Structure 1
Amino acid sequence: CKTCIVQHFEDSNDCPRCGNQVHETNPLEMLRLDNTLEEIIFKLVPGLREQELQREIEFWKKNKPQENGQGDY
């Protein structure tokens, strides 16, 4: 799922399946949304949309965006 992939890329730049490097510095940059596929999956898996929304809320609670672009340097 998207949540697991994002969490994997927090610690690694490599594909979790084949081990190839996805991107030298920011593998999340290579992810692309497929809204049509996402809607089909949400229709096939009851409750998944709500679970993903909850995971996203929890993610942003833990990883609050820095204001004015200030972060740890």
Structure 2
Amino acid sequence: LTNVVPGCGCTVTDFTSAPIAPKEEGYITATFDSNRSHGGVVRKSIYCQTNTKFKQKHELVFTGEVRDCNSCDY
């Protein structure tokens, strides 16, 4: 991984910054702040750059539903 960038201001990312050898593992985390987003279904992207041979740019997508606390079942 050479860089990981969130697609908007309501998401913060972190990732393994040290080199990752072949067959080894790293991590990418994303934290979504629902207070900075609209309610309902959300679709967020994270853009990753790597030094892999065939594809250097990757898009990771996650979805969720932001609900009003009055509609929660807990």
Report if TM-score (shorter chain) is over 0.5. no
* Greater fraction of residues in strand: 2
TM-score normalised by length of structure 2: 0.24
TM-score normalised by length of structure 1: 0.24
Name which one, 1 or 2, has greater alpha-carbon Rg: 2
* Greater fraction of residues in helix: 1
Greater relative CO (CA pairs within 8 A, separation 6+): 2
